[in-house]
Amino acid sequence: MSLKPGSNAARDVAAVLHPMINLGMLEEKGPLMISRAKGVYIWDDQGKQYIEGLAGLWSTALGYGNEELADTAYQQLKDLSFQHMFMGKSHEPGMLLAEKLKEIAPLNASRVFFGCSGSDANDTQVKLMWFYNNALGRPNKKKIIGRVKGYHGITVVAGSLTGLAPMHTGWDLPLDCGRFLHTDFPHHYRHAEKGESEEDFATRCANNLEQMILREGPDTVAAFIAEPVMAAGGVIIPPRTYFEKIQAVCTKYDVIFIADEVVCGFGRTGNAFGSQTFNIKPDSVTFAKALTSSYQPLSAVVINDKIYQACLDGSKKLGTFGHGYTYSGHPVCCAVGLKTIEIYQRDRIFEHAAKMAPKFRARLEGFQDHPLVGEVRSVGLIGAIEFVSNKATKAGFTPAGSVGAYAFDRCHAHGLVARNVGDGVAFCPPLIVNEAQIDEIFDKFALALQDTLDHVTREGLLAA
């Protein structure tokens, strides 16, 4: 595709600094301009229809064009279009949503802090850990451990928690302050030793985490943060017993466990929360994305009472609890979040997603014997296929990511929105997807996969 002078795509390239893209490639090809959407389908400005296989950005759980959510936003805009939560002010939508999140969150919840995105929510998590330990008289207990290829956002602090090299290179990240560490990438397919079971691999990962804490000094490590399923890192499902063993290490050394539920929260893994799916007992949880089905920008940090009481004591000593955003708890966002949860519960959306999961998994696993496919992985309604140049050796492609990018483009050509994650493709459809639509997603992917095999064969990229 080449840019047509005067087209919306050309005008966009001339005006917008785009996120998460090779800017040179964008200058050459231009963006895909999306004009409308309904249910699990979107249309570009040329009228072409695509089925949404990634729920927007892992997030539009209820699909597009939900009139209840639109009406809720409109009514709230008329009633109270804005009210901040600074200096003792609040409003009913924020109060009601906080109460609802306390009721359903996968921890013994005490308080809820609202933000606008998963990135700023994880900034808040870090600041809370620093404030918490200062309040407890532990000024050295400030280091946060994430994981290689974990994704926790893109701001300066959240980007430092993130363990993906493209989010660091050229940005002077992670922050060079000694407070951000990254432990093992828990991908059994790629990193298990020969003959090592998932359980033994999980034990090794937990032992490595413990050794890191001991090297750094337990009195310097404040928290460990993890996504139940690593989404942007490749849809990595934790090996069996992984989180139980990791959690035991955190408990042993008084390290707060932060569950980043930005992608997994609200039904994605077959339960309400990924923490329930993988037996995580978090001290603090990050929500965003499906909290409003992405109809409004909203995030939430939900903390237990241990953290809250320390923050309360610290504020009593210092005065102002000096953290917050203009749009923390925006009433329109909170009203939409409250209605979204109401719809999830009333229409049994999580149960529907769990019912669709076997079909989703079966279609994914149907590609396992394809000559390009190394590993298929999924849980609930999130999954990925990893490409290899040699199935026996698991060898990848050079340059890394090139075949995944080609497959991504071919998905678009066949009317499917998915996401390339390295040399692979990830799927995360809206939770309202039905069996026929799951078939449509993977039928279109099969066409893209055949195109990709033809390309790899033509270019001689398969390893002997």
Domain boundaries, position 134: 68-346
Strand runs labelled E in 152-230: 180-183, 221-226
User: Is the domain of 279 the same as that of 334?
Assistant: yes
User: Is the domain of 195 the same as that of 105?
Assistant: yes
Cα–Cα distance between 448 and 416 in angstroms, integer? Answer: 9
User: Is the domain of 255 the same as that of 309?
Assistant: yes
Give the pLDDT score at 463.
Answer: 83
Q: Which residue, 78, 83, 108, 110, is CA-closest to 94? A: 83
User: Is the domain of 153 the same as that of 267?
Assistant: yes
Q: Which CATH number covers residue 94?
A: 3.40.640.10
What percent of the residues of the chain are helix, what percent strand, and what percent coil, each to the nearest 5? Answer: 45, 15, 40
User: Is the domain of 115 the same as that of 101?
Assistant: yes
Q: Which CATH number covers residue 402?
A: 3.90.1150.10
At 288, which amino acid appears?
A
Give the pLDDT score at 1.
Answer: 52
- Whether residue 333 lies inside any domain: the answer is yes
- Scanning the structure block, which residue is given the tokens 């917050």? 324
User: Is the domain of 452 the same as that of 330?
Assistant: no
Give the pLDDT score at 240.
Answer: 97
> How far are the Cα atoms of 1, 41, 76, 98, 441 from residue 338, in angstroms, in the given order?
42, 25, 12, 9, 30
Task: Return the exposure string of 44-83: e unless at least 16 CB atoms fall within 10 Å of the residue's CB, then b.
Answer: beeeeebbbbbbbebbbbbbbebeebeebbeebeeeeeeb
- Whether residue 2 lies inside any domain: the answer is no
- Whether residue 26 lies inside any domain: the answer is no
> How far are the Cα atoms of 98, 124, 288 from residue 120, in angstroms, in the given order?
18, 6, 10
Q: Which residue, 436, 438, 430, 440, is CA-closest to 347? A: 430
User: Is the domain of 127 the same as that of 216?
Assistant: yes
User: Is the domain of 312 the same as that of 204?
Assistant: yes
- Name the domain boundary from 317, 346, 375: 346
Q: Which residue, 157, 213, 152, 208, is CA-closest to 185? A: 208
At residue 104's C-alpha, the angle toward residues 101 and 109, to 5°, is 65
User: Is the domain of 49 the same as that of 81?
Assistant: no
Q: Which residue, 80, 105, 137, 97, is CA-closest to 310? A: 137
Domains of the chain: total: 2
User: Is the domain of 298 the same as that of 408?
Assistant: no
- Whether residue 426 lies inside any domain: the answer is yes
Q: What is the pLDDT along the chain (464 residues), one digit of tens a residue?
A: 568 889 999 999 999 999 999 999 999 999 999 999 999 999 999 999 999 999 999 999 999 999 999 999 999 999 999 999 999 999 999 999 999 999 999 999 999 999 999 999 999 999 999 999 999 999 999 999 999 999 999 999 999 999 999 999 999 999 999 999 999 999 999 999 999 999 999 999 999 999 999 999 999 999 999 999 999 999 999 999 999 999 999 999 999 999 999 999 999 999 999 999 999 999 999 999 999 999 999 999 999 999 999 999 999 999 999 999 999 999 999 999 999 999 999 999 999 999 999 999 999 999 999 999 999 999 999 999 999 999 999 999 999 999 999 999 999 999 999 999 999 999 999 999 999 999 999 999 999 999 999 999 999 998 87
| Beta-ladder partners of 286 | 260, 301
- Whether residue 21 lies inside any domain: the answer is no
Task: Say if CB 4 and CB 12 are below 8 A apart.
Answer: no
- Name the domain boundary from 346, 373, 401: 346
- Whether residue 18 lies inside any domain: the answer is no
Give the pLDDT score at 408.
Answer: 97
Task: Say if CB 169 and CB 156 are below 8 A apart.
Answer: no
User: Within 10 A of 148 (CB to CB), how many other CB atoms are there?
Assistant: 16
- Whether residue 158 lies inside any domain: the answer is yes
User: Is the domain of 387 the same as that of 359?
Assistant: yes
Q: Whole-prediction pTM value? A: 0.96
- Whether residue 204 lies inside any domain: the answer is yes
- Name the domain boundary from 322, 346, 370: 346
User: Is the domain of 73 the same as that of 117?
Assistant: yes
